[in-house]
Amino acid sequence: MRSTLLIVDDTPVNRVILKQALTNSGADIYTCESGEEALKFVEKTIPDLILLDISMPGIDGFEVCKRIKTNEHTQDIPIIFLSALEEVSTKVKGFDLGAVDYITKPFNVKEVNARVKTQLTISSLQQEMRHKIKVTEEILKEEKARQDGPLLGNSPAVKELRQKIELASSSNDNILLYSDSGCGEENIARTIHKRSSTNGGGFIYVNCSQINKKNWHTIINDDPSGESKFNLAIGGTLYLDHASELSIILQVKFFTAYEYFRHTSNRGMRIICHSTKNIESQLKSKKIIQSFYDLISSRLIHIPSLAKRKEDLAVLAEHYIKGMSSLYGKNVNSISPESIEIMSNYQWPGNLRELKNIIERQLVISHDSILNIPESALNKGEGVGGYHLINKIASGGMGEVWKAEHRFISRLAAIKFISSQEVSNRQNLASFFREAQATANLSSPHTVSLFDFGTRENGSFYYVMELLQGLDLSEMIDCHGSVSPQRAVHFLKQCCYSLIEAHEKGLVHRDIKPANIFACRLEPHYDFIKLLDFGIVKELNNTDHVSEGLVGTPPFMSPEMFDKNASIDAKSDIYSLACVAYFILGDKYLFESKSIKEYCYKHLNSAPPPIRKFTDDFEIPTTLENLLLRCLNKTPNKRPSAIELLSELMEIDVAPWSYKEAKEWWHEYDYEIKNKKRLADYKDIETQLLETRQA
């Protein structure tokens, strides 16, 4: 854009000389013959520079300058005085009024061009700087509003959250944020950073789920003086998102680097972590080491889900409306009471992120000053294929499991996701594909059914399974204790039906354990078993999995699964199923160990004790005890096949587990759930087990 230059002089010759002298300045040049005319000009057009004569009839140059500089709209216009007066006092007066330079008459063309060029350059730079400052102020304003958004409202939950943030900000403690995804966790971390003593440094974001062998050194370097995100966070805040996804090796590196920093630097650094998983449960399962846990969990802050703070819906909705309406050129300033009522009856599985997305979509199509959110816009949850999500059931392994409903036929289902971050891990991705393909090819009623499979726009993969209402055997034993031999045999038979088909189709499950055996109620059936999670399934004629390392769950792994040189066949599942039998009959593992190494040694070398030594509650039939010992033989080919195991279970001298007994147990279980509000398919299994132990 060309600059605008105004020449103000009552002498026509001077105006002509200056205009000709500045022809090559690149500016659009305007002239005025009096102070009055100049003031009228600047009311309509703001020039980039004014050349102003001092001695003029009427309003002189000093008065014109004074009026321009006292007007907030024109005060930034640079002014160069034109004068034949040489007195120092005249120049001082001009500078006091706000002039930036003087040009002495008669004019020297080179001097005029040099001074004008300099001031136009300075003016251009100042305008650019003022624009950048305004942009920065607007960005900071929007950023502050964005950060404050999750903390708006007056519900008890958010009031407690604000109090915890205030206390955390005034301390130097490292902080662990725990919440479901989409609750505003990063904004809350940034708020703590801004309010803390480390706000002079940077806020360095790290997505732990995206760290792999190729990029870990950019996050944390073995050289303490090297360039890494960890070193960039010194003096500020290091934010570790998905902290529970860090490998053990990286947990050690983070702890070592922090300890070195703490003992060698006098600068502060705060670590804020976020996890959607229960860190204490991760610690117990040895996925988090104690030193890293102690490092990140000095202070725990639980961020409530939107479903637990619905009283804040109105203020949150209006906050998002205010922030986005101008962006889309809308004059929307509020939300209708009917919309708030509709939203209050919704469970918000996507939390604040889902609320913002829904408001944004409705703003785009809105033509009123009051925003209306129809029930159809909520769509009963985030859409995935032909389904909409209702709530998260569980998380762990490679992804999350959500309860969902088909949009048109209203069939309930469970959807398992592998995140887009996990896609970079080829082994995890291959495992997910194997689980989907293996499950799709199995039709036994005792194997969980697969309905659909696909990808989402964000790059994550999913497949849709039947939704089971009930509990897995791990949860059953943990909550209700061991089962009778009659019931155990009833469970084992049904597992055999699933394994017979899988083995005949050349598939080995490789992770038979109580958590993957689900007891459900399928009217009119009770104690109906479904085998889950074929995530590490292996084809018998495929040796591609040899390089995967240790797979499975150590308390239930066969001896050959600990031997990297051994071949794994269907008999491995039989051994694992026998380990499950010991667990459900005796409420403890076949071998009690404190480490994987100890499990390995015992499974390879220790003779299994008779099952009767595991329980005093029931009398174990000798035929069942001997059959389980055969299944636990260290030599795979001496174990029975799945079909042989089923046949021998049929012959066990034990009364059958009756329909009446099963029905009574489930009615009692339903009563317990109803009164304690512990629906198994509505809650994360790890959280539920933790709460049960604490209770």
> What pLDDT, on the 0 to 100 scale, is given for residue 687?
43
The domain covering 3-131 belongs, at the CATH homologous superfamily level, to Response regulator (3.40.50.2300)
Work out the average pLDDT over 626-643.
93
Q: What is the pLDDT of residues 169-216, one digit of tens each?
A: 998 899 999 998 889 899 899 999 988 887 778 888 988 877 776 777
Is the pLDDT score of 15 beyond 60? yes
> What pLDDT, on the 0 to 100 scale, is given for residue 507?
83
Chain mean pLDDT for the chain:
82
Work out the average pLDDT over 420-434.
55
Is the pLDDT score of 242 beyond 70? yes
Q: What is the pTM of this model?
A: 0.49
CATH of the structural domain 152-304, one choice from 2.60.40.10, 3.10.20.30, 3.40.50.300, 3.40.190.290: 3.40.50.300
Domain with CATH 1.10.510.10 in the chain: 469-695
Q: Which ranges in 149-180 belong to alpha helices (H)?
A: 156-169
Residue 629 to residue 625: CA distance in whole angstroms: 6
Pick the residue with more confidence: 236 or 533? 236
Q: What is the pLDDT of residues 580-596, one digit of tens each?
A: 999 999 888 988 888 88
Domain with CATH 3.40.50.300 in the chain: 152-304
For helices 642-650 and 485-504, angle between their N-to-C axes, nearest 10 degrees: 150
> What pLDDT, on the 0 to 100 scale, is given for residue 311?
93
Work out the average pLDDT over 314-343.
88
Domain with CATH 3.30.200.20 in the chain: 379-467
Domain with CATH 1.10.8.60 in the chain: 310-378
Residue 242 to residue 251: CA distance in whole angstroms: 13
Work out the average pLDDT over 401-421.
75
310-378 folds as Helicase, Ruva Protein; domain 3 (1.10.8)
CATH architecture entry for 379-467: 2-Layer Sandwich (3.30)
Six-digit token string for 471:
């509990």
Is the pLDDT score of 24 beyond 60? yes
Q: What is the pLDDT of residues 448-474, one digit of tens each?
A: 888 877 776 555 678 888 888 888 898
**C-alpha angle 342/343/344, rounded to 5°?**
90
Please report, to the nearest 10 degrees, the dihedral formed by the alpha carbons of residues 348, 352, 353, 358 taken in order. 60
469-695 folds as Transferase(Phosphotransferase); domain 1 (1.10.510)
**Confidence bin at 430 (pLDDT 50/70/90):** low
Omega within 30 of 0 (cis) for the link into 304 = no
Is the pLDDT score of 389 beyond 90? no
**Confidence bin at 546 (pLDDT 50/70/90):** very low
Q: What is the pLDDT of residues 115-166, one digit of tens each?
A: 999 988 888 888 888 777 776 766 555 555 555 678 889 999 999 999 999 9
**Confidence bin at 694 (pLDDT 50/70/90):** very low
Residue 523 to residue 549: CA distance in whole angstroms: 41
Alpha-carbon torsion (614, 617, 622, 627), positive or negative:
negative
